[in-house]
Amino acid sequence: DLNGELAKRHMQISNGYGDLKEKTFRLAHMGDLTMADMKELTAAIEDILKL
């Protein structure tokens, strides 16, 4: 699963909310993250999903 693969890269995402909870995910942060950190996360997701 996506979160399992992200965990291998020391990353994690969370489910969305409400009716779309199981169909969407959130990119949230705790602490001091940069745009480069978010780009690294989205690049990892693209790599894992083969996009």
Give the model's pLDDT for residue 14.
87
* Position 25, amino acid: F
Give the model's pLDDT for residue 18.
93
Give the model's pLDDT for residue 33.
86
Host H or E run for residue 26? strand 25-26
Give the model's pLDDT for residue 42.
94
User: What is the C-alpha separation between 29 and 51, in angstroms, rounded?
Assistant: 23
- Tell me the per-residue pLDDT of 6-50, one tens digit each, with 9 for 90 and over: 999 999 988 888 999 889 988 877 788 889 999 999 999 999 999
Give the model's pLDDT for residue 26.
83
